[in-house]
Amino acid sequence: MEGAVQIQVNGLPRGCRSGSTVGDLLRELDIKTDSVAVELNLEILDRKDFELRSLKEGDRVEILSFIGGG
């Protein structure tokens, strides 16, 4: 599709609209932001920056949250 960029999210390839933000991606994935951490190309983002950081070709995004553990 036109205006699309290829990124990697949690190790999986994914296309997204050019100019879309981390916040857009989270909404697209239906992920609530209240207990997730997002790493963009190894940089941990502040939650308030999710809407400010746009995604570029080749970006690697990691979205993490809490699971059961000891």
Partner 1 sequence: MYDDRLVIAGREFKSRLWVGTGKYKDFAETRKAIEVSGADVVTVAVRRVNITDRSKENLLDYIDPKKYTILPNTAGCYTVDDAVRYARLARAAGVSDLVKLEVLGDEKTLFPDTAGLIEAAGILIKEGFIVLPYTNDDPIVAKKLVDIGCPAVMPLAAPIGSGLGIRNPYNLKIIMETVKVPIIVDAGVGTASDAALAMEYGADAVLMNTAIAGAKDPIAMAEAMKYAVHAGRLAYKAGRIPRKLYATASSPIEGML
Spatial neighbors of 43 by CB under 8 A, at least 6 apart, are none
CB of 47 to partner 1, least distance (A): 8
What are the C-alpha distances in Å from 1 to residues 5, 15, 35, 56, 61?
9, 9, 32, 15, 21
Choice between 35 and 57, CB closer to partner 1: 35
Q: Which amino acid is at 44?
A: I
Which is closer to partner 1, CB of 1 or CB of 32? Answer: 32
Residue closer to partner 1 (CB basis): 2 or 35: 35
Q: How far is the CB of 12 from partner 1 (least distance, A)?
A: 7
Chain positions contacting partner 1, by CB under 8 A: 9-12, 29-31, 35-39, 44-47, 62-70
What six digits make up the tokens of 49?
A: 């920056």
